[in-house]
Homo-oligomer: A and B are copies of this chain.
């Protein structure tokens, strides 16, 4: 089964180059080209190609907005969109991914990666250019599940209290939730503050958020 692709770029030579690279693959067929964003959206909605290769910089609608229109949040049957760009700007990367892109490749990444990105997008996966991935990982590692967990001297029970405090519960409510007395809750909160060197329950909550004890 061949993968149908739409290529959108305002420069005819770039479109030609992409078409050459892609059609060199036996299982990929370029079924449409578009010279600007509006054209791309129209053609994509009409032909519903397996993958849309979209440049970020285009007249009328830019690549980000095209992505949002075809794969953004709230779109009923989203298409797979791979965003292509010459300039490695974070602004483009974040915009594209937030808009629902299933891939993000730089034009200088070589034909092999481009083809792989199309194949990945076709089966629902996402390929991101290595140089971009690197910076993405930097952002990510700080937010990774299990990371950012600071070494803390808190007991399990105290952690339960911390989580409750971080959710905005009063001591009385925490007592009810944990089936213990108000005095005990206050003991625990006091112990937590002493151990961590925090001055009040809001700082306890802030500590919990920063160390991913609370929140999702």
* B126 lies within 8 A of A127 (CB): no
In the assembled complex, which residues on chain B have CB atoms less than 8 Å from the CB atom of A214?
A: 206
Q: Kindly identify, within residues 110 to 137 of chain A, every residue whose CB is under 8 Å from any CB belonging to chain B.
A: 110, 112-113, 115-117, 120, 124-131, 133-134, 136-137
In the assembled complex, which residues on chain B have CB atoms less than 8 Å from the CB atom of A116?
A: 110, 112-113, 116, 130
Interface of A is mostly: helix
In the assembled complex, which residues on chain B have CB atoms less than 8 Å from the CB atom of A124?
A: 134
Residue-wise, chain A 150-192 has the 8 Å CB interface mask toward B (1 for contact) of 0000000000000001111110000000000000000000000
* Number of A interface residues in the complex (CB < 8 A): 52
In the complex, A210 has a CB within 8 A of chain B: yes
A144, chain B: closest CB distance, angstroms: 5
Cβ-defined partner of A206 (8 Å) among B144, B168, B200, B210 = B168
In the complex, A74 has a CB within 8 A of chain B: no
Distance between Cα atoms of A133 and B198 in the complex (Å): 38
In the assembled complex, which residues on chain B have CB atoms less than 8 Å from the CB atom of A137?
A: 97, 126, 128
Residue-wise, chain A 87-119 has the 8 Å CB interface mask toward B (1 for contact) of 000100011011000110000001011011100
